[in-house]
């Protein structure tokens, strides 16, 4: 009986490593058309995603000031921005859970992420993109289709953008 439990535990552990790091099954499906929605900026002004989508690739990161995985991901986002900042639009969508515009502004001043910050106080992008958690990244290709989704602090953002920009 004990040997059987060890085998089951081993198989379960292997199953946990079967998916590629950073990939996930929740959220908007890869290959679908990216939703065009309106979201606010930190000043409460509406920003229509249509001004970005379908023109050049777009990286959307759904984040919060309290998200440890988002902070872990930030150096990777900054590195990707250095390489692709002229070819890809970088947008950071603050999910506004336990957030205020002032708290977000303080975080931005301290950490200086390379993206334009949007403040989703109405939840419009969160619903449209099926955001399962913070540190969720959606990359949309120049044609407006979702090319990548992932979650966590170890996503290979530059590698993803390299593939998207090459197409």
Tens digit of each residue's pLDDT (9 = 90 or more) over 105-147: 999 999 999 999 999 999 999 999 999 999 999 999 999 999 9
Q: Is 149 helix (H, G, I), strand (E, B) or coil?
A: strand
Measuring CA to CA, which residue among 166, 165, 156 is closest to residue 89?
A: 165
Phi, psi of 118, deg, nearest 5: -115, 150
CA dihedral sign, ordered 117, 122, 124, 127: positive
Sorted by where each starts, the structural domains of the chain and their CATH numbers stand as 22-166 (3.40.30.10)
The model's pTM: 0.84
Q: What would the two tokens of residue 136 be?
A: 């969720």
Residue 132 is classified by DSSP as: -
Q: How confident is the model at residue 26 (pLDDT cuts 50, 70, 90)?
A: confident
């Amino acid at each position: 009986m004990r040997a059987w439990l060890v085998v089951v535990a081993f198989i379960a552990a292997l199953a946990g490593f079967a998916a590629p790091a950073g990939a996930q099954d929740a959220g908007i499906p890869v290959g679908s058309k990216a939703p065009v929605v309106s979201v606010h900026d930190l000043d409460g002004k509406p920003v229509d995603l249509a001004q970005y989508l379908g023109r050049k690739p777009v990286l959307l990161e759904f984040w919060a000031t309290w998200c440890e995985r988002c902070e872990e991901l930030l150096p990777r986002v900054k590195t990707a921005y250095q390489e692709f900042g002229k070819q890809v639009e970088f947008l950071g969508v603050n999910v506004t859970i336990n957030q205020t515009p002032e708290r977000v502004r303080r975080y931005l001043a301290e950490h200086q992420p390379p993206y334009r910050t949007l403040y989703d106080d109405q939840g419009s992008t969160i619903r449209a993109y099926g955001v399962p958690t913070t540190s969720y990244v959606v990359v949309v290709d120049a044609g407006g289709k979702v090319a990548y989704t992932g979650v966590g602090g170890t996503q290979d953002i530059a590698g993803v953008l390299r593939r998207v920009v090459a197409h």
